[in-house]
Amino acid sequence: MKNIDYEDQGQFCSGHVACPGCSEPVTIRVILNTIGDDAIGVVSPSCSAMISGGYPISSVKVPMFHTTLESAAASASGVKRALNARNKRDTTVFCFVGDGGTYDIGLQALSSAIERNEDILYFCFDNEGYMNTGGQKSSSTPLGAVTGSTPEGKFTQKKNMVEILAAHRTPYVATASPSHLNDLKAKVEKAKTIRGTKVIIVLIPCVPGWGLAEDGAVRTARKAVEAGVFPLFEIEHGERVRITAGRIDEDLRIDGYLKEQSRYRRLDAGRVAALQSEVDQQWRRLRSAATTADETSSIPCKTPTQAA
């Protein structure tokens, strides 16, 4: 096992309120230490808002603006523009948002921020449901998963957010996982060098919401990557696709990944086959995009800036 290759500058403190065994704090620790001091965060109601800390304490060293569930991208735009007006253009403005705040209620604001190419770095901590409110389904919840609002298992597929973001020609879109922290760190570093909107979706297996063993979060995340359920890749300007980690064996099935989780307890053989088929199809599609992408093309994008 490789050590995490980063220097902890103390940007994230212990004593936060994440559930035992949660992999989100280590993810946040890597992100914040990679972003550094010159940053302001916007966080919408989610696990990351609770982990960031309730008044009057904060586990995050940089200032955080707690906004409404649907408003992270719009609020971050406001922070960034105010910093521009104050000639503080180099400060990184980032968002911590859940999948509910990204795939569902915040999608409209995010879409608009990307269309304006706001210079923000947006993190979606994707635990595939409204886990902070006790575990209800979101449009990120996969087929067959039992949640507080899908007692028979969800009847429809997970929304393909990455393709939606790619269709916006977003300057930088990536997926990441707490099982591959060096990969996460490299993606945050790359995103920091890009002006415009950057979105990184991190899979966060939820110990209570997915029904995992307390030591199962990172193992489950790794299995998601290695079975091709949640491959790690990046897309620049909607065209250049690069896979950084994915299915390790083309014959590997998703059963090992599913067995870590009690949320799939209602899956019958037919639904397992449907899920496997969806994963196979998405993986083939991603592989094909990565191999046929035109490496030389790029769409010029400007960030909205004040007239000099």
Partner 1 sequence: MTTTVRERSRGVLLSGNHAVSNAVMLARPDVIPVYPITPQTPILERITELHAEGGITAELLTPESEHSAMAACTAASATGARVFTATSSQGLLLMHELLHFASGARTPIVMCNVNRTPAAPWGFWPDQIDSLAQRDTGWIQLYSESPQESLDSVIQLFAVAEAVKLPAMVSHDAFYVSHAMEPVDVPTQELVDAFLPPYRPEFSLDNAHSASYCAPTDQATWRRSRVDLDAAMAQVPGLIRSTGARWGELTGRHRDLLEGHHLEGAEVVLVTMGSMAGTVRHAVNAMRKEGLAVGMLKVRLFRPLPAAALREALAGVPCAIVLDRNYSPGTGGVLHQELKSVLFGTPVAPRLHGLLAGVGGVNVSSARIREWVAEFRSREARPDPVWVE
My answer on whether omega of the bond before 56 falls inside 30° of 0, hence cis, is yes
Q: How far is the CB of 251 from partner 1 (least distance, A)?
A: 45
If binding is defined by CB under 8 A, does position 40 make contact with partner 1? yes
Q: Which of residues 130 and 264 has its CB atom nearest to partner 1 in the complex?
A: 130
Question: Are the C-beta atoms of 100 and 130 separated by less than 8 Å?
Answer: yes
Residues 53-112 contacting partner 1, CB under 8 A:
53-56, 58, 60-68, 70-71, 73-79, 81-86, 91, 108-109, 111-112
The verdict on 197 binding partner 1 (CB under 8 A) reads no
Sort strands 172-176 and 121-126 into parallel, antiparallel or unpaired: unpaired
Is 227 among the residues that bind partner 1 (CB under 8 A)?
no
CB of 40 to partner 1, least distance (A): 6
The C-alpha atoms of residue 65 and residue 109 are separated, in whole angstroms, by 16
Considering only the stretches 21-29, 51-59, 121-129, 281-289, report the one whose residues sit in contact with partner 1 under the rule CB under 8 A: 51-59
- DSSP symbol at 263: G
Give DSSP secondary structure letters for 113-159: HHHTT---EEEEEE-SSBTTTT-B--TTSPTT--BTTBTT--SSPPP
* Cβ atoms of residues 143 and 281 within 8 Å: no
Rg of the chain over Cα atoms, rounded to whole angstroms, equals 19
Which residue number, 33 or 261, has a Cβ lying nearer to partner 1?
33
In angstroms, give the least distance from the CB of 78 to partner 1.
3
CB 15 within 8 A of CB 59: yes
Residue with smaller CB distance to partner 1, 81 or 271? 81
Length of the chain: 308
Say whether residue 115 binds partner 1 (CB under 8 A): yes
Question: Using the rule CB under 8 A, is 226 a contact of partner 1?
Answer: no
Point out which residues bind partner 1 (CB under 8 A): 37-40, 42, 49-50, 52-56, 58, 60-68, 70-71, 73-79, 81-86, 91, 108-109, 111-113, 115-116, 304, 306-307
